[in-house]
Structure 1
Amino acid sequence: MRIVLLGPLRSSFVQTDIAELGRTHTIIPLDTVLGKGLAGLRTLIVLTLKTLVALVRADALYCWFADYHTLVPTIAARLMGRRVYVVAGGYDVGYLPEINYGARMRSVRWFCTSRTFRYATKVFPVSEYALRQLTMLTEGRHAPATVIYNGVLPEKFPAGIDTDRLPLAITVSQGDSVTEYLRKGLDRFIRIAALVPEMTFKIIGPTGPALERAYRDAEGVGNVEVVPGFVSLHDVIIPNFMEASCYCQLSYEETFGMAVVESMLCGCIPVTTNGGALPEVTGPTGHRSDIDADLAIAVRTTLTATLPARQAARAYAERFHAARRGERLRSAL
C-alpha cells in the first residue's frame, strides 16, 4: 500500500512510524512544519497541493495530528475512495483554557481539527487520556478510535544502568512559547528547585519567549541551569539522563510524555504530576503529586534510589517499544 504521511518529519515519533510502516508499505512523507504569518500560509497552500497530487497515486493518507493542513486532504482522500488515518495526541486534543492552549481555543483551527477527526477512517489516540480528550472535545463525533501508544527504541539507548548519579534533576522542553512553558510546568520546576537547594535543576531545550521566561524566572535561584535549544537527543539529552537522579515532568497536561519514557530508559526515576497521560506512561515507577512540597520530597528521595528501582523504570519504559506500536498500526490499517 502507498501511504501519504503528513507530519513534523523532524520529530522522532514520526520517524519511528515511517520506519515501522515502511516495513510493509511505501511511505510518501511530507513535512507539516508550516511557520507563521504569510510565509506559513504560503507553505500551507504548497503543502496542500503536494498532498493532493500525491494522493492521486496513493492508497491512504496518514496524518500525525489533526490541524489546519489535514482537513482538505482528508476530504479529498475520502472523495477519491482513499482511507484516512489520524494520530491524535498533541495540540489537537489538548485543552487548557486557563493558558489558552489547544485547537479548541481557536474557532477556525478547531473546525479543521474536529472535521478531520470526524471524516477520517480511523483515529489512533496515543494514550487512553488522549482518547478521553478526543471524545470529550468532539462530543463523540469522531471516526472509530483505537489507542496505540507511542513507541521508543530501547536499543538506541545505553543498556548499562547504575546508581552512580549526580544530585541532578532534569526536565526537557523544546517549546518556544510562554504557553508551552507554562503547560510543561517549567515555572513549577523552578519553584521546586528553590525548595531543594542541595541539587542542581536543569532545564534543557527551550527557545524564543519560553527561553526568555526561563531565564527570568530562574533569576535568584542559584541551583537552576538553563540549556537553550535546539539540542541533540544523543549528544546532549541522553548523556544528561545517564547522570541525573531523576527526570521531572511537571506538566499540567501531557497526551503521552515521550521525554519521560526516554529518561526512564536511562534509569532516571520519574517525578511527575498527575497531568494527562503521565500516570499511564510511568505506571508503578517513580513518584507523582500535584503539590509542590510533596514533589520536592520526591525529588530528594531519588538521590537514594536503588539499582532495582532504576532498572524497574527502564523495564516499564520498554513496554512502549516501537516494534509493538508498529505491529498494532500495521494490523489496524
Structure 2
Amino acid sequence: MKEIILFIYPQKSSFINSDIEFLSKKYNVKTQDLLWNKASILPLNLITQFFFLIRNIQSSKVIVISFAGYFSLLPVLFGKLLRKKTLLILNGTDCVLFPEYNYGSLRKPLLLFFVKKSQQYATKLLPVDASLIEQVHTFDETIFIKNQGFKAHFPKLKTPIKVIPNGFDTDFWTYNTQFIKRKEFITVVSASKKSTAIFKGIDLIVNVAKQFPNKIFTIVGLSEEVQQEFKVGKNVIFYSFVKKEVLKQFYQEHQFYLQLSVNEGFGCALSEAMLCGCIPIVSNAGALPNVIGKTGFIIEKRGVDIVKKMIEKILFLTEEERIEKGIKARFQIENNFSISNREKLLLQEIES
C-alpha cells in the first residue's frame, strides 16, 4: 500500500499537475478540487475542506500545499495540531505586493492574514525561487514598495526555508536546430483582467510592436475581453488558448520569447520556450534574471524606448548567433530546471 499525501491547491495548473504526476509514482496523492476565487463561496469551501482534512489527515504522511491563501491555513493548522509535516510551496503572488497594479495576495487584509499565518505555521516553506524570499525591485520606477518577498513583508517569520525551483519536461519541450524559426516574438501569459495583462507587460509589447510593423508579435493567453482593450496593428496576433502540443509548435516557430512582467515568481512559459530554443528577452524583475542565467537579454528598466533599443540591437544577430543562443537557452533550463531535479528535491523534503 502506498503512503498517503494530501495535496492542496487553489486550482489546477500545468506545474501543479506535474507535481501530482511525479508524486503519484510513489504515493497515493489525495486532492480536492474547489473554486477558491469566489468570495461568496469561501465559507462553504472552508467547511468542505475542514471535513476533507478530518477524514484524511490522520492517515496521511505529509500535507503539500501549493500557494498560500485562504485554502492553506486550515491544512497547516491541522498539521501543527496533529504533528503532521506541512510543506508550503510559494509561487509568487503569495510573496509580493504591488498596489499600483492591484497585484499580489498581500493587498487584501483578510487574505494577508491567511497568507501570513499559513507561512508562520507551516513546517517548511518551499519557494520556487530565491527572489520570493527577499528582493529589491528596480525595474518599474513607479513602484513605491521596493522591498519585496515574504521576508520583507513578514520580517519576524522564523519558518525554515528551502528553495526548490520549478521543473520542466525536457523530453516534450524540444528544440530542433534543423527547423527554421520564421517568426520573431512570442509571449505567453494568463490574464482575464486588463490590470493583470499590463502587470505582465502586454502594454509594453503592444506599443513596441508598433515600432516594428514588419515583425510578428504573438501573444497567447489573454481572454477575448482583455484583447479588446488593446489597439494593435496587423503584426500582433492574439490567441486566447492553445493546446500544449500547439504551444510547443508556436515556440519552435518563434525566434525570441518576451517576458516583460513587473514581477515573476518564476516564469514557467519562459522556461518551456527556452527549451524549444527561443532566445529570452526578459525584464530585470523577480526570478526572471535567475531563470535565464547568462543566456538571452535583460531589460533593466520599464519603458517602450528602452525595449525598442534592445530589440533593434538583437535583430542584428546573425542566423548562426541565433542558433547558438537558442541552444544555450535550452541548456540553461535542461541543466538547472528539469522535472527530475524538482522531483528529487521535493521527495527529499517529504521523506526527511
1:83 corresponds to:
85
Tell me what 1:223 maps to.
Answer: 235
Moved more, 47-56 or 269-278: 47-56
Match of 2:307 in 1: 292
CA contact (8 A) 2:280 2:295 kept: yes
Shift of 1:41: 4.5
Residues 192 and 295 of structure 1 are in contact (CA less than 8 Å); yes or no, is this contact kept in structure 2?
no
Partner of 1:13: 15
Q: Report the equivalent of 2:214.
A: 198
Q: Which moved more, 1:32-41 or 1:151-160?
A: 32-41
Aligned to 1:233: 244
The whole-number CA distance in structure 2 between the counterparts of 1:24 and 1:159 is 31
Q: Given the alignment, which residue of 320, 323, 329 partners 2:340?
A: 323
Deviations 1:145-170 (A, max 9, x none): 01110010101123523461123211
1:26 to partner: Cα distance: 2.5
CA deviations 1:122-164 (Å, max 9, x no partner) are 0000001012212112114141001110010101123523461
Which residue number corresponds to residue 96 of structure 2? 94
Q: Which residue of 2 aligns with 1:212?
A: 225
Secondary structure at the counterpart of residue 65 of structure 2: strand
Deviates more, 1:127-136 or 1:303-312: 303-312
Gap change, CA 1:298 and 1:150, over 3 Å in 2: farther
Structure that is richer in helix per residue: 1
Structure 2 counterpart of 1:144 = 160
* Identity %, equivalent residues: 26
Q: Distance in 2 between matches of 1:301 and 1:33?
A: 48
- Structure 1 residues 163 and 271 mapped into 2: Cα distance closer, same or farther (>3 Å)? farther
| Letter aligned with residue 173 of structure 1 | V
Q: Secondary structure at the match of 1:226?
A: strand
CA separation of 1:85/1:244 partners in 2, compared to 1, >3 Å: closer, same or farther? same
Tell me what 2:330 maps to.
314
The Cα of 1:8 is off from its aligned counterpart by: 4.7
Which secondary structure state, in structure 1, belongs to the residue aligned with residue 171 of structure 2?
A: helix
2:141 maps to none
Q: Does 1:257 align with 2:267?
A: yes
Q: 1:299 to 1:237 in 2, by over 3 A?
A: farther
Once the two structures are TM-superposed, the CA of residue 33 in structure 1 deviates from its matched residue by 3.6
3-state SS of 1:216 partner: coil
Aligned positions of 1:93-132 closer than 5 A = 93-132=95-134
Paired letter, 2:229:
R
Work out whether residues 257 and 270 of structure 2, in 8 Å CA contact, stay in contact via their aligned partners in 1.
yes
Number of residue equivalences: 327
Q: 1:275 to 1:32 in 2, by over 3 A?
A: farther
- Structure 2-normalised TM-score? 0.87
**Match for residue 269 of structure 1 among 270, 276, 279:** 279
Residue 88 of structure 1 deviates from its aligned partner by: 0.6
Residue 57 of structure 2 corresponds to residue 55 of structure 1: yes
SS at structure 2 position matched to 1:328: helix
Q: Is 2:8–2:66's contact at 8 Å kept on the other side of the alignment?
A: yes
Deviation at 1:32, TM superposition (A): 4.7
CA-CA distance at 1:253 after TM superposition = 0.1
User: How far is the alpha carbon of 1:31 from its aligned partner?
Assistant: 2.8
- Structure 2 contact 93–265 (Cα < 8 Å) conserved: no
Distance 1:69 1:269, change over 3 A: same
Bigger mean CA offset, 10-19 vs 319-328: 10-19
In structure 2, the CA distance between the partners of 1:22 and 1:329, relative to structure 1 (3 Å rule), is same
CA shift digits 1:43-81 (9 cap, x unpaired)? 443234323322132122110001001112211121011
In terms of mean alpha carbon deviation, does 4-13 or 120-129 score higher? 4-13
SS of 1:168's equivalent? strand
The residue type paired with residue 274 of structure 1 is: N
Distance 2:9 2:123 in 1: 18
